[in-house]
Chain A
Amino acid sequence: DGGITQSPKYLFRKEGQNVTLSCEQNLNHDAMYWYRQDPGQGLRLIYYSQIVNDFQKGDIAEGYSVSREKKESFPLTVTSAQKNPTAFYLCASSTTFTGEQYFGPGTRLTVT
């Protein structure tokens, strides 16, 4: 059963803690993406990766970090430097940068 998974669905953290969000795909896609969505807003690109061991900053990369050590995995770390981390985080993958994106179910992060 091919697809893209994110875990956990809900995540709660205290302010000042780093937290890592998981994203895994078995679609054999080269490109992967992380987006942030705030209530009633569109998606904003945090980071993307077009190939293993390479990634680029999106529009709002400050306070976030990523790694792409495996084709299947693209974890996102929300660091304590991110001023407003509470949001809905969506991971996606596609065959190429301009291709159709498949989204995971998302992780709702709440930081208090």
Chain B
Amino acid sequence: GQQVMQIPQYQHVQEGEDFTTYCNSSTTLSNIQWYKQRPGGHPVFLIQLVKSGEVKKQKRLTFQFGEAKKNSSLHITATQTTDVGTYFCVHISNFGNEKLTFGTGTRLTIIP
């Protein structure tokens, strides 16, 4: 099965620097979700975006859904060591043909 590409695949940042991961689709999405998976753990839900152009914030995290509902981004301001993990976007489509696909993930490493 096809997986959704996220970029970058890996990101190493100095603590305090910003971080962004991008998620792209060739098809229009019903909604998009973001999850975080700590090393050795299981994915934990962060946010769901539904509306075109939607922007949501959670403390230092900013999530965006593109105007055409085909791409999304997660931006972390001033990273901390607790931000370490892999961030996944999940494409969900229920326009007639149900489709749920996890992105390939971006693994974030923080350099203290």
Q: Which residues of A contact B (CB under 8 A)?
A: 33, 35, 40-45, 48, 56, 58-60, 90, 92, 97-106
Contacts and interface: CB of A to CB of B under 8 A. Distances in A.
Given A42-B88, A101-B90, A103-B42, 10 more contacts: A35-B102, A43-B43, A44-B102, A45-B100, A48-B100, A59-B1, A90-B43, A98-B30, A100-B48, A101-B35
Given A97-B92, A97-B100, A98-B94, A60 B43 contact: no
Given A101-B45, A102-B45, A59 B104 contact: no
Contacts of A103: 42-44
Interface of B: 1-3, 30-31, 33, 35, 41-45, 48, 88, 90, 92, 94, 98, 100-105, 107
A44 B3 contact: yes
A19 to B, nearest CB: 20
Given A60-B1, A98-B30, A100-B33, A42 B102 contact: yes
Contacts of A59: 1-2, 101
B94 A97 contact: yes
A69 B2 CA distance: 30
B10 to A, nearest CB: 10
Contacts of B48: 99-100
B3 to A, nearest CB: 6
Contacts of A48: 100
Contacts of A99: 48
